[in-house]
Amino acid sequence: MDISWDDARLFLAIAETGSFSGAARRLRIGQPTVSRRLAALEYAVGSALFRRSVDGAALTSAGERLLVPAKKMAEWAGELHRAAESADSSPRGIVRVTATPYMSFDFVAPFAAYVSQKHPDLRLEVQSQIQYLDLGRGEADLALRGRPPTSADLKLVDTLEVPNAVFVSKALKARLPKKVSLQQLPWVAWAPPFEAVAPNPQLESMIPGFSPSFTADHYLVMLAAAEAGLGAMVMARMEHRFPRPTQLVPLELDLGPFSRSQTHLVCAKSALDIPRVRRVSELLLEEFQRIRLGR
């Protein structure tokens, strides 16, 4: 039998998210459509591919046999898509950039406005994610990540290193002792399921009994709490030319081994063959160089 790419993509979405609802969100279709299409696929295959339960969907032995081939199919589908798009000689269309919530809000969004002014035919679609998207499959065109790539299918385009700093609201700074320590500060930090996301582990390693005064699972909620004076946040001190008004100011505190952070610009190896992706990558490289030179 023939399994179409649409069926393989549906199967992968359920397998990797662990639920029909997660697959529906990833594929941007309704959950009843996911159930209907999976039922048709299982009928064609002649076996159940998932065990349904209140906890989600788990692969059966028949589903496990399809998992690796389906992943390879996804990688080749991404490669095929990029090869077809590389024939377009002009930089136009949508470029999907994935980045951390901080980078997406603080840098990528205003950078997108700059790109739009410079190239009206280009549009950035920003996917603010803590989890990494699969660039090889074409889930995004470019990524700004905290870790360099380890896959042979990915290319490290550039790395930007900047200092980190502890930021507090002006009102909170006025209430703090002149020589405040990390241990004395109230902290705003990540809540579950992101408690292992930086800087939580780093602060836990530096502050005995670390217990934040406020936690949230969304970056903008954390930022609003810090600006309201609820606590301090560790953020990159990335001085670019797209600043926004803020109530936060840095404290001169030593973060030890965590005093600097890196942002890696990553893409699939063949992605830069696509004119629109290559142009946005070039513009990002220009901005990285401006930041290094302090312009």
**Taking a C-beta distance cutoff of 8 angstroms, is the pair 281, 142 a contact?**
yes
* Structural domain range at position 25: 5-86
User: For residue 46, what is the domain's CATH number?
Assistant: 1.10.10.10
- Residue 76: pLDDT band (50, 70, 90) is confident
Residues 248 and 269 grouped into a single domain: no
The terminus-to-terminus CA distance of the chain in angstroms comes to 59
| Domain end marker among 86, 116, 132 | 86
Number of structural domains (the chain) is 3
Tell me which residue of 142, 100, 104, 97 sits closest to 242, measured CA to CA: 104
Residues 190 and 249 in one domain: yes
Q: Is 168 helix (H, G, I), strand (E, B) or coil?
A: strand
Residue 187 has pLDDT above 90, yes or no: yes
Do 246 and 275 fall within a single domain?
no
Residue 273 pLDDT: 87
pLDDT of residue 111: 96
Quote the pLDDT of residue 54. 82
Question: Which of 86, 113, 130 delimits the end of a domain?
Answer: 86
- Say yes or no to pLDDT of 81 above 80: no
pLDDT band at 231 (very low <50, low <70, confident <90, very high): very high
Report, as an integer, the average pLDDT of 258-285.
93
Say what the pLDDT of residue 112 is.
96
User: Per-residue pLDDT averaged across 264-290, rounded?
Assistant: 93
pLDDT at 209: 93
> What is the average pLDDT score of the chain?
90
In a shared domain, residues 222 and 211: yes
Q: Does 167 lie in the same domain as 157?
A: no
130 and 177, same domain (yes or no): no
CA gap 263, 288 in Å, rounded: 10
Question: 252 and 174, same structural domain?
Answer: yes
Q: How many whole angstroms separate alpha carbon 12 and alpha carbon 34?
A: 12
Cα 182–Cα 183–Cα 189 angle in degrees, nearest 5: 75
Q: Are residues 266 and 134 in the same domain?
A: yes
User: Residue 277's domain is classified under what CATH number?
Assistant: 3.40.190.10
Is residue 193 reached through a cis peptide bond, with omega within 30 degrees of 0 on the bond before it?
yes
* Confidence check: pLDDT of 85 > 80: no
88 pLDDT tier (thresholds 50, 70, 90)? low
The predicted model gives 61-81 an average pLDDT of: 81
Between CA 37 and CA 31 the distance in angstroms is 10
pLDDT of residue 16: 87
Q: Give 86's pLDDT tier (boundaries 50, 70, 90).
A: low
Mean local confidence (pLDDT), 53-71: 87
124-175 pLDDT, tens digit each: 999 998 988 888 888 899 999 999 999 888 999 999 999 999 999 999 999 9
What pLDDT score was predicted for residue 70?
Answer: 86
One domain for residues 186 and 254: yes
Is there a single domain that holds both residue 51 and residue 181? no
Q: Using CA atoms, how far apart are residues 129 and 144, in angstroms rounded to an integer?
A: 10
pLDDT the model gives residue 87: 58
Whichever domain contains 184, its CATH number is: 3.40.190
Residues 224 and 100 in one domain: no
- Residue 44 confidence (pLDDT) above 90: no
Choose one of 22, 55, 86: the last residue of a domain. Answer: 86
Q: Are residues 153 and 274 in the same domain?
A: yes
Q: pLDDT digits over 110-128, tens only?
A: 999 999 999 999 999 999 9
